[in-house]
A and B are shown apart, each in its own frame.
Chain A
Amino acid sequence: MLLYLSKRIARSFLTLIIILTVVFCLLRLVPIEGYFQNFDKMTPQQIEVGLKEMGLSDSLPLQIVHFFQKLLHGNLGTSRIYRSNVPVSDILADKVPVSIKLGIWSMVVSLLVGLPMGAFMARYQYRWFDKIGTFFIVCIQAVPAAVYFLYIQLYGTQLFHVGLLFQIDDPNYWILPVISMSLGNIAFYGMWLRRYMIDESNKDYVRLAKAKGLSEGNVMFKHIFRNAFVPLAQYIPTAFLNTVIGSIYIESLYSIPGMGGLLVTVIKKHDNAMVQGIVLLYACVGVLGLLLGDLMMVMLDPRISLGKKAGDR
């Protein structure tokens, strides 16, 4: 177990370093206007001095080394346009907790709604509950999120009597963003749990349980659900990444002062240092999310043998 754990973590760490390097190199290709507040009024000499100051005129490998050195000290660079000369990490420190809170709430809601939905759809297969659920899933999956988020905001704000401007202390203002962010994952969990439970319910041990005279509900939840949930754990990392992506759109739509909303803002303002910092942070979140998902699956199912995992993917 420990060997597997350390191997898996080391692997993630290596991946992270590669990703950071690639992203860093790619971001060297951006137009340099994004590094200065009033680029249009500057003379070429001033620009050169400015670039030198930021260490951007060094060779690429040297820049990468400097970047990692700074990163070890928790220094993500300095914002130039969004807020002049404030370290990126300081700006992010205010924003990240909000995003995390939103993310956790939406994960909780989507699990609490999505799992029972999938289970009941499997239990009452081909009846009206299953049909309504399938219709819901098709709609959520087929219509782009960018569109239904807009309508939820449009009609939801009237329904809950909340303004368009987000107020962080009022719980009413959290309802709509959390619902919007959960919908995609609810459909996701619902669809896969239904599928796995239906597959599982045709197996012999379920027939045996029924033949023994156990009640339908008992078989459903004690036998089928527990087995069907294991492959679902595999999808939790994907669901997690969905949440991360949803947050970019939703935080910006509801002007929630979080990381995702910030990304949209700094992209519009072309602040290169900020974009770099946030993109790197998102890459880390992605790697971490997949790592946790893998570990969770190993813990949930004792049958998955550790260390041999790479063999039969």
Chain B
Amino acid sequence: MMKQFSYRHTKEAELIENMEEAELFTFGGYNEAETEKTGFSNYSYWNSTLHAFFKNRIAFALLVLLMLLLAFTFIQPYLPGQYDPNLIINDTSGMQFRNIPPGKQFILGTNSIGQDLWARIWSGTRTSLFIGLSVALAEAVIGITVGVIWGYVRKADFILTEIYNIIDNIPNTIILILISYILKPSVKTLIFAMCLTGWIQMARFIRNQILIIRDRDYNVASRCLGTPTVRIIVKNLLPYLVSVIMLRMALTIPAAIGNEVFITYIGLGLPVNIPSLGNLINEGRALITSPALRYQLVYPTIILSFVTISFYIIGNAFSDAADPKNHL
């Protein structure tokens, strides 16, 4: 404080010293254009967010790797020399290639009925990522819509709160198990079952935030000026929530992938002809007792852990970056 003060003092003194005597005693004049000038900043929310995000080297590296991985799951079937993930491969004498360890012919070996593990892992990653992304997207869309209505429309509050109280009382996993048990296992069923419980948490979160900021001065002012409600919601309220929405979406993806593994384990998951990381881990788990075959468990779990940890870290980094308080 002291330092600043003295600095300003000397600066001022310097300025005065450098002025001509005559200049010191003339009027400054009145410039109309000068008075109208206001502070200008080239601040842009998304630019700053991206800038802040790229500063986090680890998260950025993970994002690049994850993108490459995602691209590779789509490219892989078109590369030369790939096997079909469901093809049972026989050798020349008609015997199946069972449990071949990783090597030249099969990059990651084969499983117990002679299918190529490499092809199955990439196909499975694609399925699991698809499930995760769909669940996250559906949850965000439903959750935000309901959450906005819940927070903004006073009449809806009571009913939605009661519904929330009921759903919140049952462990999510039980609902997941119940729906999967009733419906036939398929990718759609799994996505449906996972969305059924997830959206309400998102909606409640949005609702609480909207209740907090709905009646802040800038919103009241906006309303007085006759801004339509939709515009207030889209322009005033939702941008405020970008960071938390992104965080929740990013965390939903690993959770959905994990749930898929769990549901497959208890026997309600996808059929084996749709490879998924859950299916692969479950197949690998069956061989847990023989150490030589553990590669069939290890490789799928490595991919799974990489994907989930990446999403977790990227989500956290992005939500930090999306918070305007962290922008310089």
Decide: A282 near B281, CB < 8 A? Known: A29-B182, A30-B181: no
Determine the distance from Cα of A286 to Cα of B288 in the docked complex, in whole angstroms: 33
For chain B, the count of residues having a C-beta within 8 Å of the partner chain is 42
The B-contacting residues of A in range 140-159, CB under 8 angstroms, are 141-147, 150-151, 153-154
Contact (Cβ within 8 A) B170 A147: no
Interface centre among B161, B170, B178 (most CB of A within 10 A): B170
Main secondary structure of the interface of B (DSSP, over half): helix
Contact (Cβ within 8 A) B313 A142: yes
Residues of B within 8 A of A290 (CB): 168-169
Decide: A146 near B171, CB < 8 A? Known: A30-B182, A264-B267: no
Mask of A1-45 contacts with B, CB within 8 angstroms, 1/0: 000000000011001101100110011011000000000000000
Name the residue of chain B whose CB is nearest to the CB of A34.
Answer: B181
Contact (Cβ within 8 A) B261 A146: yes
Find A139's partner among B169, B178, B309 (CB 8 Å cutoff). B309
Residues of B within 8 A of A153 (CB): 288
Determine the distance from Cα of A265 to Cα of B191 in the docked complex, in whole angstroms: 24
Determine the distance from Cα of A141 to Cα of B174 in the docked complex, in whole angstroms: 20
Contact (Cβ within 8 A) A150 B309: no
Is A299 positioned at the interface, with any CB of B under 8 Å from its CB? Answer: no
Interface residues on A, range: 35 or more
Decide: A146 near B265, CB < 8 A? Known: A27-B178, A139-B309, A141-B312: yes
Find A150's partner among B161, B165, B288, B289 (CB 8 Å cutoff). B288
Main secondary structure of the interface of A (DSSP, over half): helix
Determine the distance from Cα of A287 to Cα of B311 in the docked complex, in whole angstroms: 32
Is A267 positioned at the interface, with any CB of B under 8 Å from its CB? Answer: yes
Contact (Cβ within 8 A) B169 A15: yes
Contact (Cβ within 8 A) A249 B309: no
Is A109 positioned at the interface, with any CB of B under 8 Å from its CB? Answer: no
Decide: A26 near B182, CB < 8 A? Known: A138-B313, A142-B308, A286-B169: yes
A-B pair count, CB < 8 Å, reads: 119
Determine the distance from Cα of A26 to Cα of B309 in the docked complex, in whole angstroms: 35
Decide: A19 near B169, CB < 8 A? Known: A144-B261, A146-B261, A147-B261: yes
Residues of B within 8 A of A16 (CB): 169
Choose the segment among A83-91, A94-102, A119-127, A240-248 that binds chain B (4+ C-beta atoms closer than 8 Å). Answer: A240-248
Residues of B within 8 A of A144 (CB): 254-255, 257-259, 261-262, 304, 308
Find A252's partner among B174, B257, B266 (CB 8 Å cutoff). B266
Residues of A within 8 A of B172 (CB): 245
Determine the distance from Cα of A147 to Cα of B299 in the docked complex, in whole angstroms: 12
Find A154's partner among B177, B288, B313 (CB 8 Å cutoff). B288
Determine the distance from Cα of A143 to Cα of B312 in the docked complex, in whole angstroms: 9
Is A268 positioned at the interface, with any CB of B under 8 Å from its CB? Answer: yes
Determine the distance from Cα of A144 to Cα of B294 in the docked complex, in whole angstroms: 19
Find A264's partner among B161, B166, B266 (CB 8 Å cutoff). B266
Contact (Cβ within 8 A) A143 B305: yes
The B-contacting residues of A in range 151-189, CB under 8 angstroms, are 151, 153-154, 164
Is B285 positioned at the interface, with any CB of A under 8 Å from its CB? Answer: yes
Is B227 positioned at the interface, with any CB of A under 8 Å from its CB? Answer: no
Contact (Cβ within 8 A) B267 A268: yes
Find B165's partner among A15, A141, A268 (CB 8 Å cutoff). A15
Mask of B288-300 contacts with A, CB within 8 angstroms, 1/0: 1100001001000
Residues of A within 8 A of B174 (CB): 245, 279, 282-283, 286
The B-contacting residues of A in range 47-68, CB under 8 angstroms, are none
Contact (Cβ within 8 A) B177 A241: no
Contact (Cβ within 8 A) B182 A267: no
Find B177's partner among A141, A151, A263, A313 (CB 8 Å cutoff). A263
Contact (Cβ within 8 A) B178 A279: yes
Mask of B271-288 contacts with A, CB within 8 angstroms, 1/0: 000000010010001001
Is A197 positioned at the interface, with any CB of B under 8 Å from its CB? Answer: no
B residues adjacent to A (C-beta < 8 A): 161, 165-166, 168-174, 177-179, 181-182, 208, 254-255, 257-259, 261-262, 265-268, 278, 281, 285, 288-289, 294, 297, 301, 304-305, 308-309, 311-313
A-B contact pairs, 18 of them (CB 8 A): A27-B178, A142-B313, A144-B262, A144-B304, A144-B308, A145-B258, A145-B262, A146-B261, A146-B265, A146-B278, A147-B261, A147-B304, A245-B171, A263-B266, A264-B265, A275-B181, A279-B174, A286-B174
Given contacts A142-B308, A142-B312, A151-B301, could you give 5 more A-B pairs where the C-beta distance is less than 8 Å?
Answer: A15-B165, A143-B308, A153-B288, A248-B177, A264-B266
